[in-house]
Structure 1
């Protein structure tokens, strides 16, 4: 699918299957989300630019690659996106963080903003927007809109599960924003939940209903 990277690594797919299981405990679900978050972060950062620097090993001097340019920004959509954040910071501890608070209106399903805080120089950084589920794409589109209003120009979207409807809407709204996901499921049900999916990621992560 154009503009979409499907992360089909066996470890990712194995952990996703464990997470889909409705009998998985809150603790188990949260741990698996952390583990799969590291693997997905590895994929979304695969093509980051590098530059050669001079270093000394215990045995010799050499030129060796390091990340080039300004530090990344991870932008989780609250609350479920936070489940990926610690995992991704484990892999890229120098990254900056933007927090985007959105909730889904139960009647209109539209995303409603309640909090937004981002580094002042997002225009100069690669921003990875994080949310486990890409269902209607309302929250993803709203989050990217907010970041663009702040000046962000280089954006990527990372999720665990995506519905074809959500991918289509996000690609139409922001065609330059590539999507990374571990699975593209069948579609949405009457309540706009991904099917077969794994339920509400936030509720399963925090043990709420």
Structure 2
């Protein structure tokens, strides 16, 4: 994966994203759609996983068949909204290791504040996929990637539902080696640091909090 930004424009992804954007979509519906979209985005973010072969026996004969190679990959949820994407990816890759980065955004400075960090060992030998629905200012994402690199990660990808141009630029400046996979690059950020047109606060809509 060489491109810094990949926009997954598959019709199913875009259809489901439209329903998520609508303000009348229920909490249960939003949660279900987020899980379904994360399933589809996971196909793209894992497209270049290393594979090897092993001999298997089919009902017809034996063959050398492709299987995933290397250590189990790591999924890292940027709390709290990242958990919505995490669930969908785990359905596709149930053997993945899981880590958590707890960050919240200071509403005055828009800067991230860390409150939790727990990740698997041997990150340097694993593909690490960080997930967070929104790449807005990019401050929290950059901070999370900073922490993952300090913990040893060298092969990192970032998966989000929506991205703003400001967040993509911030990530590219800070971490040009981390590819981004998203369902949409939206227009801009508003004065409060929210993505426009966006879909509101993903965590609030997923968990029914306001």
Match of 1:190 in 2: 191
Q: Take 1:205 and 1:56, find their aligned partners in 2: how far apart are those partners?
A: 44
Matches within 5 A, 1:118-137: 118-137=119-138
Match of 2:153 in 1: 152
Match of 1:99 in 2: 100
Shift of 1:127: 0.3
Give the secondary structure class of the aligned counterpart of 1:64.
Answer: strand
Match of 2:143 in 1: 142
1:42 pairs with 2:43: yes
Unaligned runs of 5+ in 1: none
Match of 2:174 in 1: 173
Q: Take 1:120 and 1:199, find their aligned partners in 2: how far apart are those partners?
A: 35
Match of 1:64 in 2: 65
Shift of 1:47: 1.1
Q: Take 1:78 and 1:57, find their aligned partners in 2: how far apart are those partners?
A: 43
Give the secondary structure class of the aligned counterpart of 1:48.
Answer: coil
1:9 pairs with 2:22: no
Q: Deviations over 1:65-96 (max 9, x none)?
A: 00011111000100000001111111001100
How well do the aligned residues superpose, as a CA RMSD in angstroms? 0.7
Q: Take 2:91 and 2:28, find their aligned partners in 1: how far apart are those partners?
A: 19
4+ residue runs over 3 A deviation = none
Unaligned runs of 5+ in 2: none
* TM-score (normalizing by structure 1): 0.98
* TM-score (normalizing by structure 2): 0.98
Give the secondary structure class of the aligned counterpart of 1:109.
Answer: coil
Match of 2:111 in 1: 110
Shift of 1:193: 0.1
Q: Take 1:206 and 1:160, find their aligned partners in 2: how far apart are those partners?
A: 16
Q: Take 1:171 and 1:35, find their aligned partners in 2: how far apart are those partners?
A: 27
Q: Deviations over 1:29-69 (max 9, x none)?
A: 00000000100001100111110110111221111000011
Shift of 1:123: 1.0
Match of 1:21 in 2: 22
Q: Deviations over 1:90-112 (max 9, x none)?
A: 10011000100000011111100
